[in-house]
Amino acid sequence: MFLKKILAVCVLSSMFAISGCQKNEQDSKEKIEDVSQSGFKMDAAQMMTHLHAFEQIAKQHGGNRAVGTQGGLASADYILDHAKKAGFTTELQAFENREKTKGQNIIVEIPGESKQDIILLGAHYDSVKMGPGINDNASGVALLLELMAQLSQQNIKPKHSIHLAFWDSEEVGIAGSQAYVKKLTAEQLKAIKAYINVDMVGTKDPEILIADGDKSSVDEMEKMLKERGMQEQDYKPLLDGLRSIPSHSGDLALENTLKEFFKAKNLKIKEDVATLTASDTAPFLGKVPVTSVILFNEQMKGDELEFAPCYHKACDTIEQVDPKSMQLAGDAVVYLLQSLDKK
């Protein structure tokens, strides 16, 4: 995840816990059980196998998998190899980031009943140069690879075509997804019925972030700041900035679907706006319906906010990843896809 120090303040200020326990959960629980019994089940063990492989790639190539490095290129080869084994068509999209480093996106196309309507899921596969990036974000990549394998092995043909986007250079200017969106025509953008971003989904003891489709969390933050006696001139620029983040009329439906999933499991969630601009959701905002699955465990390190243990450090290894978190995120993505397929 690409985050500036100043953005950390925005994230800390703009997230509010929402209880997952409500009286009217029975219908949601039944829907979740229907999903788990549908035969389409993500396997956390397989996702962990992918993470072990990415960690080995980093160890063999200077300790990281950053854009333009040998570790980054080996990571791309690993993804391409698994796409080939699954029997799906891939497209490589080369680009250059702001540092003039060459990167490449990998798009895997999974045909559905409709080739015109597309559900796009994305995860960045590059790490920072300081570490192997296993939680950030080999975890998201592993989830998409497992989704790809399940769709292939079970010979599932979804209603909508599914495109899996493995973004490069997210850690340097969110460059890969920006390059992708920049090349899309208005017609191609219209075909994307949802973009689902998957980032840092292996975090232990996580807080679950839900993209705030209607920005209601900003209103809650304003209320809280007023109650605490903060002067309007001190918080207004922050709130105005959050409210100015582009949105799409379809964002709220995706938010509600994820809420339904997590609340049925009695899990607390946080509505979030600021992180939408800090990962590969950013280029899609306001253009297509957008949501994300992100798991944080925030810790203050001095005057900086760390979004998970070992965030952007050499210790971001498989030791930081909880298979239960991987399973939870995988099940949430499947629930989203199955809900979208019913529309």
Which of 236, 204, 201 shows the shortest CA–CA distance to 218? 236
Tens of pLDDT, residue by residue over 304-324, are 778 899 999 999 999 999 999
Contact by Cβ (8 Å): 88, 132: no
Distance CA 169, CA 101 (A): 9
Residue 231 has pLDDT above 80, yes or no: yes
Tens of pLDDT, residue by residue over 271-287, are 999 889 999 999 999 99
Contact by Cβ (8 Å): 64, 128: yes
Residue 258 has pLDDT above 50, yes or no: yes
Q: Which residues contact 180 (CB under 8 A, 6 or more apart)?
A: 93, 105, 107, 165, 167, 283
Distance CA 113, CA 157 (A): 7
- The superfamily in CATH containing domain 5-341 is Zn peptidases (3.40.630.10)
Mean pLDDT taken over the chain: 90
Q: At how many degrees (to 10) do helices 5-14 and 216-227 cross? A: 80
Model pTM? 0.91
The pLDDT of 150-172, averaged and rounded, is: 97
